[in-house]
Amino acid sequence: MTQNENTDIRLHPAYRLVALDSVTSTMEEARKRAEDGAEDGTLIWAREQTAGRGRMGRTWASPRGNLYFTLILRPDCAPAQAAQLGFIAALALGEAIGSVAPPLDVTYKWPNDVLLSNRKAAGILLESHALADGHLDYLLLGCGVNVGTFPKDAAFPATSLRYEGTPATVTEVELLEAFSRFFLSWVNRWLEDGFARARTAWLDHAAFRGERIEARLPKETINGIFKDLDEDGHLLLELEGGEERRIAAGEIFPPG
Ligand code: BTN
């Protein structure tokens, strides 16, 4: 891991930026710092990752030119509520992308992906650590955005901002600054009024809502209609025959 000394990034004082050049994964850097007591709002950003991690144990291709960061958060909430921050981060990423790029078709794929023209441009990895008494100690919110390049062999078809027409002058730094502003404003709304507004905003642009989908869960794959998102960020799926399933973890795809 090498420290980057010459980075001019403007973030709100609520964030403490740790700018790095090359790391294995910003999740690992963030975990070490969180265990050492790093404050809420510490943001670990790296130009490249040599062992970037995605959801479901996958790798996250992390060459230079894309955006990789992990935010350390210590919200005063129950671990179950912390999942709401994944949706808030997705909204902030979507709005950040919309603010730096020409008009793009931004949608959100459950749980926390950002799609451009129905292809994945950004993903979010949440990892939390609870104290012995069950309270949340810290939440690691890892975000990866395909700014310049994207993998051709992803589980869900991928894209990048550049591929979707964003000029090469738009950098990952500009995107990080925009994310930091939108995220802070969503978090403040969340702290004041709860999850309702973010949930509505997310649902208004949710991919596959009302459509038949395939849900790949840790132990099974099921099909049904994507009906709703509950207060805990669970997906409500209506199975054939009308039975409703509440899904906490998994991924969704168009029916195979
Ligand atoms: C997904 O599978 O959609 C989640 C991808 C999360 C990738 C980001 S990049 C920054 C942070 N460091 C990692 O190793 N992973 C997350």
Closest atom of ligand 1 to 58 CA is 2
Q: Name the closest-CA residue to atom 11, ligand 1.
A: 142
pLDDT given at position 5: 41
Nearest CA to ligand 1 atom 15: 53
Q: Which atom of ligand 1 is nearest to the CA of 26?
A: 12
Query: Ligand 1 pocket: which of 20, 143, 172 to mutate (most atoms <8 Å of CB)?
Result: 143
Maximum Cα–Cα distance for the chain, whole Å? 60
Q: Is 86 in the pocket of ligand 1 (CB under 6 A)?
A: no
Instruction: Decide: 234 in ligand 1 pocket, CB within 6 A.
Output: no
* Ligand 1 atom closest to Cα of residue 113: 3
Residue 53 near ligand 1, beta carbon < 6 Å: yes
List the one residue out of 12, 49, 11, 14 whose CA is nearest residue 30: 49
What are 73's two structure tokens?
């958060």
Please give the helix or strand (H or E) that residue 69 lies within, else none: strand 67-73
Check if the beta carbon of residue 100 is closer than 8 Å to that of residue 174. Answer: yes
CA dist list (Å): 210 to 107, 113, 204: 14, 18, 12
Q: Which amino acid is at 237?
A: L
CA–CA dist 106, 102 (Å, integer): 11
User: Is the minimum distance from the CB of 42 to ligand 1 under 6 angstroms?
Assistant: no
Q: Indicate whether residue 250 lines ligand 1 (CB < 6 A).
A: no
Q: Give the residue, out of 31, 42, 60, with the most ligand 1 atoms within 8 A of its beta carbon, to mutate for a pocket test.
A: 60
Ligand 1: which of 67, 68, 71, 156 to mutate, most ligand atoms within 8 Å of CB? 68
pLDDT per residue over 149-194, tens digit each? 999 999 899 999 999 999 999 999 999 999 999 999 999 999 999 9
* Distance (Å) from CA 243 to ligand 1 centroid: 34
pLDDT at residue 27, as a whole number: 98
Task: Quote the pLDDT of residue 7.
Answer: 64
Q: Tell me what pLDDT residue 1 has.
A: 43
Ligand 1 site, residue 27, Cβ cutoff 6 A? yes
SS3 80: helix
d(CA 6, CA 209): 44
- Burial, 87: exposed, middle or buried (Cβ in 10 Å; 0-12, 13-18, 19+)? buried
> For helices 172-193 and 84-100, what crossing angle results, to 10°?
140
Degrees, nearest 5: CA angle 125-128-132: 170
Q: What is the pTM of this model?
A: 0.95
Task: Calculate the dihedral angle through the C-alpha atoms of 12, 17, 19, 23, rounding to the nearest 10 degrees.
Answer: -130
Burial bucket for residue 5 (CB in 10 Å: 0-12, 13-18, 19+): exposed
What residues in the chain have per-residue pLDDT under 70? 1-7
